[in-house]
Amino acid sequence: ETGVTQTPRHLVMGMTNKKSLKCEQHLGHNAMYWYKQSAKKPLELMFVYNFKEQTENNSVPSRFSPECPNSSHLFLHLHTLQPEDSALYLCASSQANRGTQYFGPGTRLTVL
């Protein structure tokens, strides 16, 4: 499924850097999601946006700051991350009120 794109695909950053992950969906959906997948752990939901409004924050530390300017775009702003934040970050989208989510390829983040 190439309807959800993510950039960059790989990112290496220091703990004092500020960077942003970008997600774009071309499926006409109105809900977007950020997930984190750490090694040997299930995918963990981080944030949910429905019609540009944040409806779920799964106790995510404030060093992760999401932004959803419209239903097609979703950002994850990163600052002062820790090495344990190194993971695969996945974006997904769906129609609101329908459970099937479609995922992007992910950004592999390494924090040094």
Partner 1 sequence: DQQVKQNSPSLSVQEGRISILNCDYTNSMFDYFLWYKKYPAEGPTFLISISSIKDKNEDGRFTVFLNKSAKHLSLHIVPSQPGDSAVYFCAASPKNAGGTSYGKLTFGQGTILTVHP
Dist. CA 105–CA 89, nearest whole Å = 9
DSSP state of 92: E
Q: By three-state DSSP, how is residue 48 classified?
A: strand
Among 12-20, 61-69, 78-86, 95-103, which window interacts with partner 1 (CB under 8 A)? Answer: 95-103
Dist. CA 78–CA 67, nearest whole Å = 11
Binding residue (CB under 8 A) for partner 1 from 1, 16, 69, 83: 1
Dist. CA 22–CA 69, nearest whole Å = 11
Among 14-22, 38-46, 61-69, 77-85, which window interacts with partner 1 (CB under 8 A)? Answer: 38-46
Does 99 bind partner 1 (CB under 8 A)? Our answer is yes
User: What x/- string results for residues 15 through 34 when contact with partner 1 is judged by CB under 8 A?
Assistant: ----------------x-x-
* C-alpha separations of 51 from 36, 54, 110 in Å: 22, 8, 31
CB of 24 to partner 1, least distance (A): 13
Q: Which residues bind partner 1 (CB under 8 A)?
A: 1, 4, 6, 31, 33, 40-43, 45, 48, 50, 55-56, 90, 92, 94-106, 108
